[in-house]
Amino acid sequence: MTHEELRNELSKSEENGFRILFDNYCNYVYAIVYNRLRNCADMEDIEECVSDVFSEIFRSYDTKGTFTGELSGFVGMVARRKTIDYFNRLKGFENVSVSVDDDEISSLKSDDDIEDIISRRETARKILDIILSLGQPDSTIIIQKYYYKKKSGEIAEMVGLSPEAVRVRKGRALKKLKELFIQNEITI
């Protein structure tokens, strides 16, 4: 979901627009909050923090602004800031500086960057949706060529075209994809 799509939904119905935003980003926000608070908060606190994050997003989102950056970046930034504030409140560190040894940091740190994993999955889902929007046989050609690494001859048998036609359609489909990626603010 982009800022433009969200603004269009909000112009139709503010409640529905924010419901769509919540549905699209709930898992992303939950992953950020859980990853940061799992060692110091119980599940009730984590869920309360997720609620506070969405409350802050709904309160501070500029529905008429001209910002065109990544919506996921905005949501992630609000989630990280709220989580830090929540952590500080839980631990009573609101205005305290604490020195932490490298050994303590490495024991708290997970090898999995959950935020990065969720972000990649979200981007992959958007890319697949865009590829599928090309329709048949173009979407099949692109998926078989770039995901399954099939040759034009193999793809031609699958879609009932000649290998030359597959190559021509692939070229046209790639041009369409480039335009669609730009429209949807996806960079590869």
The per-residue pLDDT for range 142-180, each reduced to its tens digit, is: 988 888 888 999 899 888 999 999 999 999 999 999 998
CB hemisphere CA count around 114 (13 angstroms): 16
From residue 86, how far is each of 19, 31, 48, 60, 69 by CA, in Å? 24, 15, 10, 18, 26
Query: Is the Cα torsion angle 122, 125, 127, 130 positive or negative in sign?
Result: negative
The pLDDT tens digits of the residues spanning 69-83 come to 677 778 888 888 888
Q: Are the beta carbons of 187 and 140 closer than 8 angstroms?
A: no
Under-70 pLDDT residues of the chain: 1-3, 6-7, 62-69, 92-113, 188
